[in-house]
Amino acid sequence: MRQVYLGVIGGLCLALVGCSSGEQDTTVNVVSNASAETDIQTAPEIVSDVMQNAAVGAFQASDLPAFFDCVRESEGMLIASHRAGPAPGYPENALETLQYARAEATILHEIDVAESRDGVLFLMHDRSLGRTTTGDGFVADTDWETISQLLLKDNDGQITSFNPPKLSDVLLWAKESGSIVELDKKPTTSFRNIISHVRAAGAENNVVIITYNDDQAKEVARLAPDLMMTAGINSPEHQAELEAAGVDMTRVIAWMGIRDPNPRAFRAVGARGIEVAFGTLGRPGQRLDDEYLADGDLSEFQDLADGGLHLLATDAVYEVAAALDADDLAMRECGVQN
């Protein structure tokens, strides 16, 4: 059952910093994707004192893992909006859509991060611009000046007044609103550059990095051992291999796929002190969202929560948030107030 939760995860940001997608991004030094360096370079000299001290009462970096631990122990379930939670008039991966989903459904949002030809990180799922914007061509071949002027289309193809947002602006919003964003790296960018932006914004406590294989999990653990990530964990032996490679399981959410939910596996991983995530998202007509919504009672979503799931990624975030109590339970038990 939906409730609106304000000002909890990141504290209230008092910075007088603009978040317009048209502003010049001066918060980070973007490192070439081809760089062989293993450290993350940020530009503290151009991050204002206001930004560094803006989140009054914000959690320390260790608190986000503790928050997810609390969700697991509460036996509740968080709901994550996929691609920010698009709806009629609200395109995928738009800042305005994040604001709408935050007000209507959830504090947790999955978004996609791409990089323009001239090194600006922004929200975009596809390699090309045509499906979701008024532009065309490939992201990697297009400068930010051009991308920033495009208008986003909603899922019905309707053109909106919204522009693609910079990652830096979205991270500031996450801090200001007390939201958590799961960052899905697209092929045009790198974990190194994404993490640079997270550091520059001071948004470590508002971010979960998505990984898709062991090599990516190890890379994120090496570059940013303090950040949370999602990672696949197939067995206790696989978990031990990742731990031996430097992946800190206290900062991992185990990703369990988008087909064939397995409550026995959910509970087994949860019993080892690791939160479990599963997705009902996917292609229209093939995703579990459509199957579960077909009869109108949404009981299958509740079954996931009852089966030991801690984080559900869905394309039906508004329907699920309105129908379930599991998200309210997690928020209430973990100190997130109305």
pLDDT tens digits for range 1-34: 444 334 444 433 333 223 333 333 333 433 333 3
Residue 107 lies in a domain: yes
CA distance to 14, 202, 273, 302, per residue, from 17 (Å): 9, 14, 39, 41
pLDDT tens, position by position, 192-201: 999 999 999 9
Residue 99 lies in a domain: yes
Residue 202 has pLDDT above 50, yes or no: yes
Residue 263 lies in a domain: yes
Residue 137 lies in a domain: yes
Question: Encoding tokens for residue 267?
Answer: 């509970």
Q: What pLDDT sits at residue 207?
A: 98
Mean pLDDT of the chain: 86
Residue 292 has pLDDT above 70, yes or no: yes
- Whole-model pTM above 0.95? no
Residue 85: which domain range? 12-31+40-333
What does the pLDDT average to over 317-337? 91
Three-state secondary-structure class, residue 217: helix
Which of the 8 DSSP states describes residue 57? T
CATH number for the domain that contains residue 159: 3.20.20.190
What does the pLDDT average to over 63-81? 96
Q: What pLDDT sits at residue 337?
A: 59
Domain count, the chain: 1
Residue 144 lies in a domain: yes
Residue pointed to by tokens 């090309």 = 128
pLDDT tens, position by position, 273-291: 999 999 999 999 999 999 9
Residue 63 lies in a domain: yes
Residue 199 lies in a domain: yes
Residue 298 lies in a domain: yes
Confidence of residue 38 (pLDDT cuts 50, 70, 90): very low
Q: What percent of the chain has pLDDT over 70?
A: 81
Residue 92 has pLDDT above 90, yes or no: yes
Q: What pLDDT sits at residue 52?
A: 34
Q: What percent of the chain has pLDDT over 90?
A: 79
Q: Where is 231: in which H helix or E strand? A: strand 228-232
